[in-house]
Amino acid sequence: MYTASDLRKGLKIVIDNEPYIIIDFQFSKPGKGQALYKCKLKNMITGVIIDKTYRSIDTFQPADLEERKMQFLYKQDDQYCFMDMETYEQVFLTEDQVGDAKNFLIDNLEVEVLFFEGKPIGIELPNFVDIKVVKSEPWVKGDSVSSNTKPVVLETGYVIRVPTFIEEGEKIRVDTRTGEYVTRIKE
Amino acid sequence: MLQGLKNKKEIIRLRAEILHKIREFFRKRGFIEVETPFLLPYVIPESYIDAIKTEDGYLHTSPELCMKLLLASGYEKIFQICKCFRKGEKGKLHLPEFTMLEWYHVGIDYNGLMQECESLITFLCRELSGKEMLRYKAKEIDLSPPWQKLTVHEAFRRYASVSLDEAMDKGIFEEVIVSEIEPKLGIEKPVFLKDYPVSMAALSKIKDNYAERFELYICGLELANGYTELTDMKEMRERLKKENEKRKELKKEPYPMPDAFFLKVKQLPDCSGIALGIDRLIMLFCNEEDINNVVAITSEDLTYC
């Protein structure tokens, strides 16, 4: 159990049976009055951000969260399947739970699957992922005003801007935090 | 690691200059600088202020009790600049160990004290910058006297979504003050928020239906808390007992009553007293929004590289 004085940025607590992470925290204490703990919290399942103000008598349940390294196997309909490489246990996540990570989720990629009270709720990608370009129009100089980059389609279906020298069938490295091109991968 | 400290050097130099000027101000006005013990066998019980307990007693949360002992034994104008310790107070405006300026003046009431406080800060500003204007959070604040005075009642009427009575009934006084009122206080000129509800008198004198207590705000920053002091020690003891009761209700440890103090002090002379947060004052003069940036070394500097 946490008390209000434990509250700080990054702490994960349970509110209405869902895990939240404190993304901003402010301690205030007017005059001789009681302390107020103002928190901005992000729901770790839905991503919804809420503001809450707590007092020193409030207590909090720590969120029972666990991260496990798992491999992405396949997608079927709305379900993404991941497997624990040691135990071979398989879990399924919905497209909503996978969120924007789906843009860079290639087959056999190792990701961190986040579990809340034993149930999978989301994934975290490695910071960099190498992905194949599956579609790129041949580049003609002077085609466009922004002549340094062009859009290409990745094997995940995601469209990204890359330098004009990248060709169909090549692999590129993408920063999954910004969703931007980093470099060309030579194989 | 020393990089951060190096950039602070200018602030710390200014801090030293301000401390020097504060002492000059009080010396010129005939005050005696006093030093009283930090380690006490008892603290003034307050519902929402927690003391740090040591093997040998408590670290003081303010020098109030000791300075009142001096007042009772004949000192008339005294000031002290010292470290105070409050458990669990940590944030952009709070340090668990902070520097307080506290002064007492026999023979004046809270109006006289507000004026003295105004003179001190205007003096500091003039000495440091040659003018009576202050720039904080991109706002220009005019320090030329007289400053504004606003009753708590009026502040609620003017700025809050609920009346003072409603806020007291619902127990949301602090929330309303922090989110709706404080940000509006002292933007163009400093403001003394005064005349608190009787239940929030702390150790101030109660007049009719309000307490002669004030807080100073400059650009939304709470800087000081002052009173016309309660002089009847019997009543003071009653109020402290009530605070201890409240602590028990809040499931906090009650503090030992300062009975030895009450044996020695039966009555205070008519006087006023004020506590002003030095670190926040430095923030104001250095245009800093984080209190951790105005002290040479924070507790983090000692724990992390």
Residue B248's Cβ-count burial label (10 Å; 0-12, 13-18, 19+) is exposed
Q: Is B89 on the interface with A (CB under 8 A)?
A: yes
Instruction: Look at A53 and B225 and tell me if their CB atoms are within 8 Å.
Output: no
Quick check: B46 pLDDT over 50? yes
Instruction: Look at B48 and A34 and tell me if their CB atoms are within 8 Å.
Output: yes
CB pairs under 8 A between A and B: 52
Identify the top-confidence range among A4-8, A177-181, B273-277, B286-290.
B273-277
Q: Is B170 on the interface with A (CB under 8 A)?
A: no
- Reported confidence tier of residue A140, pLDDT bands at 50, 70, 90: low
Q: What is the mean pLDDT of residues B256-266?
A: 95
Q: How far is B250 from chain A (nearest CA, A)?
A: 7
The two three-digit tokens of residue B126, written as one number = 């003039």
Given B90, B91, B215, which is nearest A31 (Cβ)? B215
Q: How far is B90 from chain A (nearest CA, A)?
A: 7
Domain ranges of chain A: 2-62, 65-124, 128-185
Instruction: Look at A31 and B177 and tell me if their CB atoms are within 8 Å.
Output: yes
Fold adopted by A2-62: SH3 type barrels. (2.30.30)
Q: What average pLDDT does chain B have?
A: 94
Domain A128-185 has CATH 2.40.50.140: yes
ipTM above 0.90, yes or no: no
Compute the distance between CA of residue A153 and CA of residue A166 in angstroms, rounded to an integer. Answer: 11
Task: Name the residue of chain B whose CA is nearest to A24's CA.
Answer: B91
Instruction: Look at A33 and B92 and tell me if their CB atoms are within 8 Å.
Output: no
Render pLDDT for B177-204 as a digit per residue (tens, 0 to 9). 999 999 999 999 999 999 999 999 999 9
- Reported confidence tier of residue B2, pLDDT bands at 50, 70, 90: very low
CATH number assigned to the domain with residue range A65-124, chosen from the 4 options 2.60.120.380, 2.40.50.140, 3.30.2010.30, 3.40.50.1220: 2.40.50.140
Q: What is the mean pLDDT of residues B274-282?
A: 98
Q: How far is A9 from chain B (nearest CA, A)?
A: 11
Given A26, A27, A30, which is nearest B174 (Cβ)? A30
* Fold: same for A2-62 and A65-124: no
Q: How far is B171 from chain A (nearest CA, A)?
A: 11
At what angle are helices B110-129 and B2-28 packed, to 10 degrees?
120
| CATH class of the structural domain B2-147+228-303 | alpha beta
Residues of B in contact with A53 (CB under 8 A): 175
Render pLDDT for A86-128 as a digit per residue (tens, 0 to 9). 999 999 999 988 988 999 999 999 999 999 999 999 999 999 9
Quick check: A187 pLDDT over 80? no
Quick check: B301 pLDDT over 90? no
Compute the distance between CA of residue B44 and CA of residue B231 in angstroms, rounded to an integer. Answer: 15
The two three-digit tokens of residue B249, written as one number = 């209700």
Q: Is A59 on the interface with B (CB under 8 A)?
A: no
For residue A26, give every residue at least 6 positions away whose Cβ sits within 8 Å of its Cβ, in sequence order, or none.
A37, A38, A39, B91, B92
Q: How far is B202 from chain A (nearest CA, A)?
A: 8
Render pLDDT for B215-258 as a digit per residue (tens, 0 to 9). 999 999 999 999 999 999 999 999 999 999 999 998 899 999 99
Given B92, B182, B250, which is nearest A30 (Cβ)? B182
Residues of A in contact with B225 (CB under 8 A): 31-32
Q: Is A144 on the interface with B (CB under 8 A)?
A: no
Q: Is A161 on the interface with B (CB under 8 A)?
A: no
Answer whether A160's CB lies under 8 Å from A138's CB: no
Domain ranges of chain B: 2-147+228-303
